[in-house]
Amino acid sequence: MITRLHIENFKSLEDFHLPSEPGATLAPLTVLVGLNGSGKSTLLQALDFIGQLVSGKVNAWLAAREWQPSDLQTAWKRNKQTILISVTWLDKDHGPIEWEARYNLQQEKCTYESVRLPEIGKKLMIFEGQVLKIANSNFELKTAISGATILFEGSVLSVLTLADVHPALASLKNGLLGLKSLELLSPHLMRKRAKSANDIGSGGEKLSAFLSSLNSDDLSGLSRQLRAFYPHLESLTVKSLKAGWKNLVLKEDYSPSSEFGASHVNDGLLRVVGILAQAYAKHSVVLFDEIENGVNQQIVGQLMDFLLELSSERQVLITTHSPLILNFLPDDKAREGVIFLYKNKRGATEAKRFFDLTRVTWKMDGLGPGEAFVDTDLTALSAELADKDGGEA
């Protein structure tokens, strides 16, 4: 899982640290809160960008969003052509692994990268001046490629063969490849028929194909989970159509029973299906934007129970404006995982642990996390933090 992130010159993330507190680490379930425009979606985009760097698909990612590389720059630093990135990945066998990269917006690739194990000070990889050096299992750095023959897009990790490298380096690459952003999740796209897929797609457009790839036990398990949200659901199946297309079909147990395709499924149900499907995907980190969208408040508790369980297996980051979402977090999880984003006087996004703020923390003695959230004037809090330029309020 990602324990720390530092990124410079990415949209409103001018010089951004997450968490900002020295020695703190990200929680398995991290909840981002803040005013509209504070940078919550931008942070998810930055994490998605990192995953695309490692997969070597940055240009396709930009094209899908109808962005140019220059759109990624911090608005008031247009003369800077480099995005700086530092990610600490926690591996259960090797401890923290730190990846640093400099992405050049004109060259559309990283011009410098290094990977190291900070606890023992050993380098696992260094790429500089078109020379790539990789460590073997004995931490011996050897030149793998040199000269202009290294052709890649994004990160040199995208062309790194995992055979004969230190296992910690392989773990880092696989972990960052597993970043999955669902901040573009759209019921409109989820209604589409699709062909083969290994996940539901960035907007959910491959949902039916992904569900078709599940074995019968997993699909039955998903149906059981979904019935906890919608008791009248009898079954969830995928029908194969001509030319390999797949279509999602749901059946309700009313008398007489009714069967209908995805084009007739309500938005909230489709979003819940997409969220629940992440239990069967192989992503290491899952990102959801405004998790409560389209979800009836009566099932918010079940949704949070699911996300808490999911976060025991993989890292989950969500954004929300809903106090209900926070109220279903245990107090310790809320203190550890709720991050408040705001903008400083320059318009740059900053982060603070919400329930560590003096203005908020005492409220937890008598209120639930969601109630303390509602009882806090976020506009005043943002202004106060901005006035102190990152100080504590």
Q: Kindly state whether residues 222 and 357 are assigned to the same domain.
A: no
Instruction: Locate 27 and state its tokens.
Output: 């929680």
- Residue spans of beta strands (DSSP E) within 72-187: 82-91, 95-104, 109-117, 122-128, 131-135, 141-146, 179-182
Q: How far apart are CA 362 and CA 134, in angstroms?
A: 50
What's residue 193's pLDDT?
86
Q: Say which range, 36-40, 73-77, 281-285, 336-340, has the weakest mean pLDDT.
A: 73-77
Within a domain: 41 = yes
358 Cβ partners below 8 Å, 6+ apart?
Answer: 392, 393
Determine contact, residues 291/44, Cβ cutoff 8 Å.
Answer: no
Q: Kindly state whether residues 15 and 82 are assigned to the same domain.
A: yes
Determine contact, residues 72/53, Cβ cutoff 8 Å.
Answer: no
pLDDT surpasses 90 at 2 = yes
Give me the DSSP letters along 347-360: S-EEEEEGGGSHHH
Q: Say which range, 68-82, 213-227, 307-321, has the weakest mean pLDDT.
A: 68-82
Q: Is 172 helix (H, G, I), strand (E, B) or coil?
A: helix
- List phi, psi (to 5°) of 241: -110, -175
Instruction: Locate 320 and state its tokens.
Output: 């929300």
The residue ranking higher by pLDDT, 35 or 235, is 35
Q: Kindly state whether residues 129 and 213 are assigned to the same domain.
A: no
Tell me the mean pLDDT in the region 77-94: 91
What's residue 253's pLDDT?
82
pLDDT in tens, 333-378: 999 999 999 999 999 999 999 999 999 999 999 999 999 999 999 9
What's residue 145's pLDDT?
74
pLDDT surpasses 90 at 146 = no
Q: How far apart are CA 44 and CA 38, in angstroms?
A: 12
Q: Kindly state whether residues 207 and 307 are assigned to the same domain.
A: no
pLDDT in tens, 21-55: 888 999 999 999 999 999 999 999 999 999 999 99
Q: Kindly state whether residues 245 and 136 are assigned to the same domain.
A: no
Within a domain: 183 = no
CA proximity to 370, closest of 297, 274, 317: 297
Tell me the mean pLDDT in the region 375-392: 85
Within a domain: 214 = yes
pLDDT surpasses 80 at 262 = no
Mean pLDDT computed over every residue of the chain:
91
Q: How far apart are CA 229 and CA 156, in angstroms?
A: 43
Instruction: Locate 105 and state its tokens.
Output: 């917006």
Within a domain: 267 = yes
Determine contact, residues 286/318, Cβ cutoff 8 Å.
Answer: no
Q: Kindly state whether residues 38 and 131 are assigned to the same domain.
A: yes
What's residue 252's pLDDT?
86
Within a domain: 186 = no
CA proximity to 303, closest of 248, 375, 229: 229
CATH code, domain carrying 302: 3.40.50
pLDDT surpasses 80 at 389 = no
> Which of these three, 232, 259, 279, is where a domain ends?
279
CA proximity to 15, closest of 317, 349, 339: 349
pLDDT surpasses 80 at 77 = no
What's residue 148's pLDDT?
62
**256 cis-preceded (ω within 30 degrees of 0):** yes
Within a domain: 12 = yes
CA-based angle 302:304:308, to the nearest 5? 120
pTM assigned to the model? 0.93
Q: Say which range, 65-79, 255-269, 310-324, has the weakest mean pLDDT.
A: 255-269
Q: Kindly state whether residues 12 and 111 are assigned to the same domain.
A: yes
pLDDT surpasses 90 at 118 = yes
Q: How many structural domains is the chain composed of?
A: 2
Determine contact, residues 360/371, Cβ cutoff 8 Å.
Answer: no
- The pLDDT confidence band at residue 147, using thresholds 50, 70 and 90, is low
Q: How far apart are CA 145 and CA 53, in angstroms?
A: 19
Q: Kindly state whether residues 23 and 63 are assigned to the same domain.
A: yes
Q: Kindly state whether residues 81 and 127 are assigned to the same domain.
A: yes
Within a domain: 318 = yes
Within a domain: 393 = no
Q: How far apart are CA 233 and CA 222, in angstroms?
A: 12
Q: How far apart are CA 196 and CA 245, in angstroms?
A: 8
pLDDT surpasses 60 at 393 = no
Q: Say which range, 148-157, 158-167, 255-264, has the weakest mean pLDDT.
A: 255-264
Phi/psi region, residue 255 (left: phi>0; alpha: psi -120 to 50; beta: rest), is beta
pLDDT surpasses 50 at 391 = no
Q: Kindly state whether residues 197 and 115 are assigned to the same domain.
A: no
Give residue 194's Cα distance to chain centre.
24
Distances 269 to 2, 61, 224, 233, 319 between C-alpha atoms, Å:
30, 27, 14, 10, 19
Q: Kindly state whether residues 270 and 310 are assigned to the same domain.
A: no
Per-residue burial over 266-293, b = 16 or more CB atoms within 10 Å of its CB, e = otherwise: eebbbbbbbbbbbbbeebbbbbbbbbbe
What's residue 265's pLDDT?
82
Which range marks the domain in which residue 221 is found? 191-279
Q: Kindly state whether residues 162 and 294 are assigned to the same domain.
A: yes
Tell me the mean pLDDT in the region 100-106: 96
> Which of these three, 226, 251, 279, is where a domain ends?
279
Residue type, 143: T
Instruction: Locate 374 and state its tokens.
Output: 């509602």
Distances 280 to 130, 200, 335 between C-alpha atoms, Å:
39, 11, 29
> Which of these three, 224, 255, 279, is where a domain ends?
279
pLDDT in tens, 174-209: 999 999 999 888 888 988 888 888 899 889 999 999
